[in-house]
A and B are shown apart, each in its own frame.
Chain A
Amino acid sequence: MIELRELTKRYGNQVAVDGLSIRVQPGVVTGFLGPNGSGKSTTMRMILGLDAPDRGEALIGGVRYRDLKWPLTTVGALVEAGAFHPGRSARAHLTALAVSNDIRGSRVEQVLRVVGLSDVATRRAGTYSLGMRQRLGVAVALLGDPAVLLLDEPVNGLDPEGIRWIRDLLRGLAAEGRTVFVSSHLIAEMALTADRLVVIGRGRLLAETTVAELAKSDDSLEDAFFRLTSQAIDYRGGAWMSGSHARRMGAS
Chain B
Amino acid sequence: MNGYGFRHGARMEWIKLRSLRSTWWLAIAAVVSMAAAGSGVGLGYRSHTPVPTAAQILNNSLGGAVLAQLFLGALGVLVVTGEYGTGTIRSTFAALPRRWIVLAAKVAVSGGAALTVGLAASFAGYLSGQLAIRGTAIPAASLGDPAILRAVVLTGLYLGATALIGVGIGTIVRHSGAAIGTLFGLMFVPMILAGLFGEASIPVGRFVPLLMLLNSIAVTSPVPGLFSGWISSLLMCGYAAVTVLGGGVLLRRRDT
Contacts and interface: CB of A to CB of B under 8 A. Distances in A.
Q: Do A and B bind each other?
A: yes
A50 B93 contact: yes
Interface stretch (B17-25, B30-38, B66-74, B181-189): B17-25
Given A70-B4, A72-B94, A85-B20, A100 B86 contact: no
Interface in B43-91: 82-83, 86-88, 90-91
Interface string A109-140: 00000000000000000000000000000001
Interface of A: 45, 48-52, 65-72, 75, 77, 79-80, 82-89, 92-93, 95-97, 99-102, 140
Nearest to A88: B19
B86 A97 contact: no
B12 interface: yes
Interface residues of B, number: 32
B239 to A, nearest CB: 28
B97 A100 contact: no
Given A69-B3, A83-B90, A85-B88, A101 B95 contact: yes
Nearest to B12: A100
Contacts of A66: 97-98
Nearest to B8: A100
A71 B90 CA distance: 13
Interface string B231-256: 00000000000000000000001011
A84 B2 CA distance: 25
A67 B88 contact: no
B218 to A, nearest CB: 32
A88 B8 CA distance: 19
Nearest to B3: A69
Contact of A100 (B9, B20, B83): B9
B8 A101 contact: yes
A45 B16 contact: no
A75 B90 CA distance: 14
Interface string B207-233: 000000000000000000000000000
Contacts of A93: 19, 88, 91
Given A71-B96, A72-B94, A50 B256 contact: yes
Contacts of A80: 87, 90
A86 B20 CA distance: 9
Given A66-B98, A83-B87, A88-B16, 5 more contacts: A67-B1, A69-B1, A71-B95, A87-B21, A102-B4
Nearest to A11: B255
A52 B252 CA distance: 10
A95 B97 CA distance: 18
A58 B1 CA distance: 17
A84 B92 CA distance: 10
B86 A51 contact: no
Given A50-B93, A66-B97, A87 B20 contact: yes
Contacts of B82: 85
